[in-house]
Structure 1
Amino acid sequence: MSSIFQLRKARVGVVHIGHAPYWPQFPGLKEELQGYGRIFEDMLGEQEVELVSGGFVDSVESAFAAAARLKGEDLDLLFCFLTTYVTSSSAATVILNAGGVPAVLVALQPLDKLDYSRTTTYMQLANDNICALPEIGGVLRRAGRPAAGMIVGTLRGDERATAQIAAWCRVARATAAFKRATIGYLGHTYEGMYDMNSDPTAFTATFGSHVRMLEMDDLAQRVHAASEQEIQAKLEQIHSVFTIADPFIDPVTRPVAPEHLAWAAKVAVGLDRLVADYGLTGLAYYYKGLDGNAFERIGANMVLGNSLLTGKGVPLSGEADLKTCAAMLIMDRLGAGGSFAELHPCDFADNVVLVGHDGPHNIQISEGRPIIRGLELFHGKAGSGLGVEFSIKTGPVTLLSLSQNEHGRYRMVVTEGESVAGAIPQTGNTNTRCSFGRPVAEFVEQWCAAGPTHHFALGTGHVAAQIASVANIMGIEVCHV
């Protein structure tokens, strides 16, 4: 089963741009600039991406040749490294003919400042990286293909530039995740939740992914086929990750009986098989069942298996929320985790709002070991089973909701805040105390007025800028709250 967790790396291209008229005038300059290009490639090589080099370009002719090479490489992002002043013809020719790949213009100066008393024209040209940025940026915008971004700084020891390079590689991972992806859709949306309803064709048109319609029978068959050896291995995994909790004062909670845990493990094995057999990148699911039948028992006991899969980079979203499944996938590939969540009660005294859900969750961003708690019922749903309870890590957080406007086009609603330490209800659900730098009532009003769905992906870190870059590349409107 390990193959299902081998996540696709982003394919990132790089091309170095120079200016051929300089070479006969300044011997050695070309070789020096090529050396700086190799330093930049080494920086990219430290990221978790597949790197494709288009080489050194210093004329329109060599730009066409580089574009032809890069066009067949199925790139997710292209870094255009400006080594000196270059004409826009060289840079734009590569970018506009490389197959529509989004491009980031990079101008990293070798020296943090010139030694003005000793500066020569050669030295200036070796540090003239930013000179062509406005020219190239303006030409790309006129061509209707504006640069996805720009990075300006120094070539060595520049933490800001290094962080931007890493951030853009994560953006490439997020957009790459939807390429050739299959998102499973199992069952139907929770009755009456109009905001959950989705058009799979519109989803494919926006993200390029296939939405695979699945039946409960597909999952049930794989659950019932689980072997005792597989179930025991899953139980060992569960015990290594979770802490088993006793019932709390909430009468809904109950002891975690061995047979309940074994059944949840069996369902988790079936989920692993479902993901593997259909090559799923993610799964949106909900099925109510009836009168304690097999489908109800399976549907009510998916939270453990879903949380384990979500923690491994295969997001699963409850109540058949296809949009939040996509939001969770984006957050995961940005390195922020992305847990299925909604607004819970406010704590007006402490100026926080509780954020969480009854599942599924991203256990990779849990503050400490997540807890398993037995539940006599799931409020508003059928069946009984096991719940997962935790807060996400304290510190910066980001909320991402994927919604739609009145024309049916997708839009992202995003905000940044803080996860703060403190008590949470012990009800078998996740709950995180979130503060947003303003009165909590004001935040809730502003968030809800922005038109999100009531579910969203809750992740660690402040990644709103990276989300905006993903949205820009995908042609999706983004609203910051």
Structure 2
Amino acid sequence: MEEIIQSFEVTKGKKSGDLLTEKSDDQKLKIGFLACGYFEYWRMYEGLREQVVQDMETIADRLSQNHHIIYPGLVETLDTADEAGRRFKHDHIDLLIISEGTYCPDYFVHQALGHLADNIPLICFASQAHSKIDFNSGYDQSLRNSGPMGVIQLTGGFRKMGKYEKYESVAGAIDDDEAYEDIDRLIQVFTTIKNLRNMTIGVVGHVFRGMYDFNFDKTAVTGKFGPHVMDINIDHLMNIYEENGDTDPRIKALCEQSRSEFTVVDLEDEDITRSARLGIALQDLVKRYKLNGLVLLGQHHIEVKANASCYLGLSEILSKDQAVAVTEGDVLGCILSKVLKDFTGHTAFYGEWEEMDKSLNAIMLLGHGFIDPRECREDRPVYIKPACENWGFEGNSVGFESTYKPGPITMTHAIQDTKGWRLLISEGELLDTPPMSINESYMIVRVHKPVKQYFEELMHHGFSHHSIAAPGHVGKQLECFARQLGMDVCWL
């Protein structure tokens, strides 16, 4: 009998014609390394070629420690440039790093580039053999350090031609750890951009009524960032919820885990059980529909249907790296949560701009009921308490109260307005402040300008009332991300 292919709308998690059978996971980039030297110099200075070959091998070996590098060897003639370009094309590289061990004519590089797509991402590494000028060396060592001249010539030509306009640049010696860290950060940006194209975001519900700052065009979101935004009817979630029933052993296990790992205040067993049942259903939804991101509307929507808050389930999804997840229909916030997690290695905090404190020169970011417990301060309990806002459930339901560890922090969000796409970037310091008892998670962040001026400028820029925040200062990476996607940057 011929197999009948049906939509995910009716298959209830079985194989369908409009869902991938396997979830798309993040992939590392294949990176080409184009290392150049000029054949004319070899006859002039005995031993120089051998030194340059070793210098470029040093770069290739260092890059290979963290990345999949394709290195065809030193390009020193037009033929070897052409061969390198053909090799890169054959291996389908995602990114090309260009460096020069001596000055090299720019047409060598263009010969290789001619085999690749016009929009191939480029990192131009102005490298040199020594980190200091040797005042006692000969001209041969000046040539060995002349690569930056060639790279500067190359990038000047790019600008003049109007080609490869989004190349990124790094400068440093071949043993400069900071230079390789800069390259690593740039590679992460390009990796994230590629992996966003394979991301599926499931949306249950819609943007909270009003919230015009969040309303989005799915086509524009996919066109700019890459993810596929998939509407999931709440019936799909509630069908899973009903299929599991209230005797699923995972519900009891999650309740026991919650009481073991968190400090429970003013919640009855039944309150936690209802949240756990919804939490298991949410995890099953992510698995069933192969989601990389989950966006919910809890208020007067899911919470009414399940008679429980979503927060325990969302915290589990985050802490088990099943997906990135947000609420209130904030699809862009979901995307930026993925970006910050890639850049920092930490789960982003999903907050909103709340209060200001002039004495601390700080702002409060207020959470949305859930948090990744792995990110919470280890010297304080992680509380689960009655959710601070009730949007349709009876009695109490689970909400998290905690904060992240003190230290540097980066905050961001994106918006599309009448002039195009813009990205907010702000760096600050998460302060070590006394604990709050507000039945909600929070951050107290010191900013780098007077806090009243900070809020005034935030309003003047006109951004989302949500703030996606993560430990570490990654503003420069976000700036690169915006540049590659053609977004205007607003530093705050």
Judged with a 3 Å threshold, the aligned counterparts in structure 2 of structure 1 residues 324 and 125 are, in CA distance, closer, same or farther, namely: same
Is 1:401 the counterpart of 2:413? The answer is: yes
Distance in 2 (alpha carbons) for counterparts of 1:472 and 1:184: 27
Higher mean alpha-carbon deviation, 264-273 vs 398-407, is at 264-273
Q: Deviations over 1:18-61 (max 9, x none)?
A: 223333444543343232222222322333x4434354323344
Residues 358-392 of structure 1: CA distance to partner in whole angstroms, max 9, x if unpaired? 2443444322266242326525x333521122222
Q: Name the aligned partner's letter for residue 364 of structure 2.
A: L
Are 1:365 and 1:460, in contact at CA under 8 Å, matched by a contact in 2? no
Structure 2 length normalisation: TM-score? Answer: 0.85
Shift of 1:127: 2.1
Q: Does 1:411 align with 2:422?
A: yes
- State how 1:195-344 maps to structure 2 within 5 Å: 195-226=213-244, 228-235=248-255, 238=258, 242-246=261-265, 255-289=266-300, 293=304, 295-297=305-307, 300-311=308-319, 312=321, 314-335=323-344, 336-344=346-354
* Counterparts in 2 of 1:382 and 1:73: CA distance versus 1, 3 Å: farther
CA RMSD of aligned residues (A): 2.7
Q: Does the CA-based 8 Å contact 1:287-1:296 persist in structure 2? A: no
| Partner of residue 360, structure 2 | 350
Corresponding residue SS for 1:78: strand
After TM superposition, the structure 1 stretch with the greater mean CA deviation from structure 2, 412-421 or 263-272, is: 263-272
Q: Aligned partners of 1:285, 1:390: CA distance in 2, in Å? A: 22
| CA distance 1:34–1:433, change in 2 (3 Å) | same
Q: How much identity, in percent, do the aligned residues show? A: 23
- For residue 333 of structure 1, report the CA deviation from its aligned partner: 0.7
Measured after TM superposition, the shift of residue 193 of structure 1 is: 1.0
Indicate whether 1:470 and 2:472 are aligned: no
What one-letter code is carried by the residue in structure 1 that aligns with 2:232? L
Contact kept? 1:394, 1:421, Cα under 8 Å: yes
8 Å contact 1:9–1:176 — kept in the other structure?
Answer: no
The 1:6–1:292 alpha-carbon spacing in structure 2 relative to 1, beyond 3 Å, is: closer
Give how far 1:237 is off. Answer: 5.4
Q: 1:328 offset after TM fit, Å?
A: 0.9
Q: CA deviation at 1:206?
A: 0.7
Q: CA distance change for structure 1 residues 116 and 411 in 2, over 3 Å: closer, same or farther?
A: same
Q: Distance in 2 between matches of 1:101 and 1:473?
A: 11
1:373 equivalent in structure 2: 384
Query: How far apart, CA to CA, are the structure 2 residues paired with 1:291 and 1:200?
Result: 22
Counterpart of 2:314 in 1: which secondary structure?
helix
Residue 169 of structure 1: aligned partner: 187
Offset, 1:4: 6.7
Q: Secondary structure at the match of 2:429?
A: strand
Q: Aligned pair 1:142/2:160, yes or no? A: yes
Contact 2:24 2:198 in 1 (8 A): no
1:23-62 matches, cutoff 5 A: 23-47=42-66, 49-62=67-80
Instruction: Tell me which of 34, 50, 66 is aligned to 1:15.
Output: 34
Mapped contact 2:286–2:322 kept (Cα < 8 A):
no
Q: Name the residue aligned to 1:86.
A: 104
Alignment size in residue pairs: 462
Q: Say which of 457, 466, 471 aligns to 1:460.
A: 471
The verdict on how the C-alpha distance between 1:338 and 1:97 changes in structure 2, with shifts beyond 3 A counting, is: farther
Q: Does the 8 Å CA contact 2:32/2:95 hold for their aligned counterparts? A: yes
SS of the aligned residue for 1:194 comes to coil
- What does the per-residue CA deviation read over 1:144-173, in whole Å, with 9 as the maximum and x for residues that have no partner? 3135322111222x2421321222232223
> Is the alpha carbon distance of 1:68 and 1:5 closer, same or farther for their aligned partners in structure 2, counting shifts above 3 Å?
closer
**Residues 316 and 360 in structure 1, CA contact (< 8 A), matched pair in contact too:** no
Deviations 1:289-308 (A, max 9, x none): 46975x243xx432222223
Instruction: Supply the distance in 2 between the matched residues of 1:314 and 1:397 (Cα, whole angstroms).
Output: 22
Aligned partner of 2:210 in structure 1 is 192
| CA distance in 2 between partners of 1:370 and 1:50 (Å) | 42
- Residue by residue over 1:407-443, the C-alpha shift from the partner in whole angstroms, topping out at 9 and shown as x without a partner, is 4x32101111111111343222221111112221111
Corresponding residue number in structure 2 for 1:387: 399
The farther-off stretch of 469-478 and 169-178 is 169-178
User: Is 1:422 the counterpart of 2:426 in the alignment?
Assistant: no
Q: Which one of 104, 127, 137 corresponds to residue 123 of structure 2?
A: 104
Q: Is the 8 A contact 2:166 2:484 kept in 1?
A: no
CA distance in 1, matches of 2:446, 2:134: 48
8 Å Cα contact 1:358/1:428 also seen in 2 = no
Distance in 1 between residues matched to 2:285 and 2:72, nearest whole Å:
39
Check whether the contact 1:370–1:388 (CA below 8 A) recurs between aligned residues: no
Q: What pairs with 1:146-165 in structure 2 (closer than 5 Å)? A: 146=165, 148-156=167-175, 158-165=176-183
Preserved CA contact (<8 Å) 1:4 1:275: no
Letter in 2 for 1:85: Y
Alignment check: 8 A CA contact 1:137 1:146 kept: no
Aligned-partner Cα distance in 1 for 2:248–2:75: 60
- Quote how far apart the aligned CAs of 1:209 are: 2.1
